[in-house]
Amino acid sequence: MLMSTQANRYALQLLEARADVRMIAPLSAKTKLTMEDGYDIVKSTYDIRTAQGEVMIGRKIGFANRKIWAKYGVEEPISTPIWTPMFDATVRYTTDNRGIQSLDGALQPRLGPEVVFKLGATPSPDATIEELAECIEWMAHAFEIVVCPFEGWKFEMVDSIAAFGLHGSLIVGEPKVLSAATRRNLDSMLAYSSLSLSCGDELRSAGFGSDVLGSPLQALWHLHQMLKTQPRFDKLGAGEIITTGTWTDVCPIAPGETWTSAFSGVSLPGLTVSFV
């Protein structure tokens, strides 16, 4: 466990690099850090940002897609999902599932298509996955722009935790309020759904809901369980928005490109977002 002064120093280093839009060396390059050290830095970052007036509105789950774990990490591949607080300044909603997004200030930006949940009720500590589904008010499709302050996307898992979970911004499509029947079948429905991701007329990637820890609902349940082991953080609560993890590997994006997505197997509209 890091001393609070050490965690604060790393948190300030990452916040300053983000504000200055500059690359830094991975924290793990100089010091041996554990995953729990990474969450100590997350807690320091959270305290600093809320003290400055930012408002946490939810959480981002990262690396929930097991198919991409082997592609990241230098000394060791990614081996488990991570999470980070998500703040109001980085989340926006589309109109008619279309949007324009600036990439100014985004370091090495990439795009991940996700399903997002909003909790309408606070889950009980021992909620089953079925009871967790009952707490979801709505779901929506979203594009997450992930960014990386480490050259060439080379980092260890602890670096990705500390660096805001690599979260840049979130573009949320039309929310779909869940019926009781949908909640009962949400796990399997999402698991058997698929998504395609295109840039212009070119298909760039595709994936299945089952790639996300079995389903996005399973990813949410995993976060709920993880938070039980992290008493320094609040548990999941009503009103939170949770990103559940990319359905494909994240794709590099650039100004001038328009990206579109489409689902099969679930009644969620795709997104069209142009980057400038």
The number of beta carbons lying within 10 Å of the beta carbon of residue 228 is: 10
So what's the pLDDT on residue 249? 94
So what's the pLDDT on residue 8? 94
Tell me the whole-structure pTM to 2 decimals. 0.95
So what's the pLDDT on residue 136? 98
Q: What is the 3-state secondary structure (H, E, C) of 144-212?
A: EEECCCCHHHCCCHHHHHHCHHHEEEEEECCCEECCHHHHHHHHHHHHCCEEEEEECCEEEEEEEHHHE
Nearest Cα residue to 26 out of 130, 176, 156: 156
Average the pLDDT over 155-179 and give the result. 97
- For 256, how many CA atoms within 13 A lie in the half-sphere containing its CB? 1
Residue 72 has pLDDT above 90, yes or no: yes
> Domains (ranges, CATH) in the chain?
4-275 (3.90.850.10)
So what's the pLDDT on residue 3? 78
Give the tens place of pLDDT for each residue, 44-68.
Answer: 999 999 999 999 999 999 999 999 9
Q: Are 257 and 83 in contact (CB under 8 A)?
A: no
Spatial CB neighbours of 229, under 8 Å, sequence gap ≥ 6: none
Give the tens place of pLDDT for each residue, 229-276.
Answer: 999 999 999 999 999 999 999 999 999 999 999 999 999 999 999 999
